[in-house]
């Protein structure tokens, strides 16, 4: 039995039509270790196209609203029919998909959320069946794997389900299969036997769970970009590519511009220390970006710079704050009571600030400030909106003098006023707050300073 294996996930654009599916057959069969293949539902074939998942949601709404849903059903079936014709698969494939959708509709229960999940899940489920058939027809025997039967047990929070810990043991058995496994992403099964889906984009989660369960040598996540960029391409032209970064660096860079996948999606892979490789289905020979538990960074190097708008800072001053035991805890308790999460808490001897997303504060702002005034009796309290956070990240920054000077020098040259600086406790990041209007200018200046 072969024990080395790679779990490979293909997103919607990689399985959107026959041409893309032919590419993934080539990619998978080029490497004998690629044995578990997670697939999304067919995604967009062009920028103005509609994903099959969205067609399915529209269909489910028609059904629930009691409307005539025949056209909506045809729209979904049509996407698979096009793939079937182009891949020259048997016409029976499409008839089976149509019958499956009608069955899901006719046998729905009273729980609308559960019905919605059953319909959404059919996108990946039917695509996995089609793709398994396409592999086999191309001379590479592959089997479709039903997630529920394989042991992908999920909580019953429909549309937002989470994997149950007992799933991993059963899913680990998949490593003993000698054929290529085509595993539909995005859904699993509750203990009661109902189909439940992860949040949107959840095929990434399926891939990460499987990679963790079978202790894959790598989790390859195929998408439509060659690699993750060190900076947001909307802010800077042709940003450098990231060859390798650690999980910590990826998290520190989680602000805008790094949207290849949602970092929460890969938690299972991170917890089990499985390296992740982001690769391009349309250019598989490009090395992609590795995300690893540890790496040996070049001294003084920066891996990436990310930024996002829409933050606010609450500044609080109180004479002798440092002697007031519990001040910080009580301040953060107020936020906790109001269910507000925060991002950073830079502080001085007699002052503390909390940086958070303005949207988190929303309509709670007046009551939060009032509670701080009455419960903490500060000398002064202010809130400033319209701030941007900029993160400069790199394991190589650790123990390197002059990194902050480089950054602040860049700001000075660009004429950007710094509202706040915070060096992450981990010493692998520096955070700068600037006014929203200065963000692009500031990031461009930092790009020049660190990447030339």
Work out how close the CB of 14 gets to ligand ASP at its nearest, in angstroms, rounded to a whole number: 10
Contact 256, 232 (CB under 8 A): yes
Contact 390, 306 (CB under 8 A): yes
By the rule CB under 6 A, 201 interacts with ligand ASP: yes
| Residue closer to ligand ASP (CB basis): 37 or 445 | 37
Work out how close the CB of 93 gets to ligand ASP at its nearest, in angstroms, rounded to a whole number: 19
| Residue closer to ligand ASP (CB basis): 16 or 305 | 16
By the rule CB under 6 A, 221 interacts with ligand ASP: no
Contact 346, 422 (CB under 8 A): yes
CA 119 – CA 116 distance, rounded (Å): 5
| Residue closer to ligand ASP (CB basis): 204 or 419 | 204
CA 258 – CA 237 distance, rounded (Å): 15
Q: Which of 162, 98, 165 has the alpha carbon at shortest distance from 129? A: 98
Work out how close the CB of 202 gets to ligand ASP at its nearest, in angstroms, rounded to a whole number: 5
Of the residues 168, 186, 261, 311, which one makes contact with ligand ASP according to CB under 6 A? 186
83-122 binders of ligand ASP (CB under 6 A): none
Applying CB under 6 A, which part among 176-184, 202-210, 277-285, 314-322 lies near ligand ASP? 202-210
Applying CB under 6 A, which part among 158-166, 197-205, 373-381, 417-425 lies near ligand ASP? 197-205
Work out how close the CB of 209 gets to ligand ASP at its nearest, in angstroms, rounded to a whole number: 13
Work out how close the CB of 395 gets to ligand ASP at its nearest, in angstroms, rounded to a whole number: 29
State which residue has the least CB distance to ligand ASP: 203
| Residue closer to ligand ASP (CB basis): 204 or 438 | 204
Work out how close the CB of 256 gets to ligand ASP at its nearest, in angstroms, rounded to a whole number: 20
By the rule CB under 6 A, 247 interacts with ligand ASP: no
Start-to-end C-alpha separation, the chain: 50
CA 370 – CA 366 distance, rounded (Å): 6
What is the three-class DSSP state of 38? strand
Token digits for 365? Answer: 């702002």
Of the residues 23, 34, 35, 51, which one makes contact with ligand ASP according to CB under 6 A? 51
Residue 377 — left, alpha, or beta (φ > 0 → left; ψ -120 to 50 → alpha)? left
Of the residues 151, 184, 188, 202, which one makes contact with ligand ASP according to CB under 6 A? 202
Applying CB under 6 A, which part among 22-30, 194-202, 395-403, 407-415 lies near ligand ASP? 194-202
Containing 150, the helix (H) or strand (E) segment is helix 147-150
Strand spans (E) along 270-359: 276-280, 289-292, 304-317, 351-357
Applying CB under 6 A, which part among 103-111, 156-164, 200-208, 222-230 lies near ligand ASP? 200-208
Report CA-CA distances (Å) from 21 to 94, 135, 436. 16, 9, 42
Of the residues 114, 123, 303, 388, which one makes contact with ligand ASP according to CB under 6 A? 123
Applying CB under 6 A, the site for ligand ASP has a residue count of 14
CA 211 – CA 369 distance, rounded (Å): 46
CA 280 – CA 270 distance, rounded (Å): 21
Work out how close the CB of 119 gets to ligand ASP at its nearest, in angstroms, rounded to a whole number: 12
Buried b (16+ CB within 10 A) or exposed e, 253-275: bbbbbbebbbbebbbbbbebebb
Work out how close the CB of 284 gets to ligand ASP at its nearest, in angstroms, rounded to a whole number: 19
Buried b (16+ CB within 10 A) or exposed e, 432-452: bbbbeebbbebbbbbbebbee
Contacts of 414 (CB under 8 A, 6+ apart): 441, 442, 444, 445
| Residue closer to ligand ASP (CB basis): 126 or 422 | 126
Of the residues 8, 16, 36, 41, which one makes contact with ligand ASP according to CB under 6 A? 41
By the rule CB under 6 A, 268 interacts with ligand ASP: no
Applying CB under 6 A, which part among 141-149, 172-180, 199-207, 300-308 lies near ligand ASP? 199-207
Of the residues 200, 251, 344, 435, which one makes contact with ligand ASP according to CB under 6 A? 200
State residue 156 phi and psi, 5-degree precision.
-95, 35
By the rule CB under 6 A, 40 interacts with ligand ASP: yes
Interface with ligand ASP by CB under 6 A: which residues?
11-12, 40-41, 51, 53, 123, 185-186, 200-204
């Amino acid at each position: 039995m072969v024990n080395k294996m790679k779990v490979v996930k293909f997103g919607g654009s990689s399985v959107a039509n026959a041409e893309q599916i032919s590419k993934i057959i080539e990619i998978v069969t080029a490497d004998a270790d690629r044995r578990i293949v997670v697939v999304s539902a067919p995604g967009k074939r062009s920028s103005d196209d509609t994903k099959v998942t969205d067609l399915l949601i529209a269909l489910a709404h028609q059904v629930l609203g009691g409307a005539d849903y025949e056209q909506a059903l045809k729209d979904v079936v049509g996407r698979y029919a096009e793939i079937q014709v182009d891949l020259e698969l048997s016409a029976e494939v499409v008839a089976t998909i149509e019958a499956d959708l009608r069955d899901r509709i006719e046998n729905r229960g009273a729980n609308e959320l559960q019905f919605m999940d059953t319909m959404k899940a059919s996108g990946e489920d039917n695509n996995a069946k089609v793709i398994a058939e396409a592999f086999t027809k191309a001379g590479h025997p592959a089997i479709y794997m039903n997630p529920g039967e394989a042991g992908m047990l999920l909580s019953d929070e429909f549309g937002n389900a989470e994997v149950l810990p007992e799933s991993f043991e059963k899913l680990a058995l998949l490593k003993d299969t000698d054929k290529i496994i085509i595993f539909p992403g995005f859904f699993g099964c509750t203990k009661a036997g109902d189909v439940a889906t992860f949040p949107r984009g959840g095929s990434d989660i399926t891939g990460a769970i499987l990679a963790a369960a079978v202790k894959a040598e790598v989790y390859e996540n195929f998408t439509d970009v060659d690699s993750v960029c060190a900076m947001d391409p909307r802010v800077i032209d042709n940003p450098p590519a990231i060859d390798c970064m650690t999980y910590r660096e990826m998290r520190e860079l989680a602000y805008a511009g790094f949207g290849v996948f949602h970092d929460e999606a890969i938690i299972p892979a991170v917890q089990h220390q499985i390296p992740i490789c982001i690769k391009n289905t349309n250019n598989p020979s490009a090395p992609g970006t590795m995300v690893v538990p540890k790496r040996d960074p070049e001294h003084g190097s920066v891996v990436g710079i990310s930024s996002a708008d829409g933050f606010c800072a609450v500044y609080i001053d109180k004479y002798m704050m440092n002697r007031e035991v519990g001040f910080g805890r009580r301040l953060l308790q107020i936020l906790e009571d109001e269910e507000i999460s925060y991002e950073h808490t830079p502080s001085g001897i007699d002052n503390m600030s909390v940086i958070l997303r303005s949207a988190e504060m929303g309509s709670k702002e007046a009551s939060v400030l009032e509670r701080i005034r009455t419960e903490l009796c500060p000398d002064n309290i202010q809130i400033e909106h319209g701030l941007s956070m900029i993160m400069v990240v790199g394991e190589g920054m650790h123990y390197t003098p002059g990194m902050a000077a480089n950054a602040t020098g860049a700001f000075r040259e660009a004429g950007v006023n710094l509202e706040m600086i915070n060096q992450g406790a981990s010493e692998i990041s520096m955070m700068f707050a600037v006014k929203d209007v200065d963000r692009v200018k500031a990031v461009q200046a930092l790009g020049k300073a660190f990447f030339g």
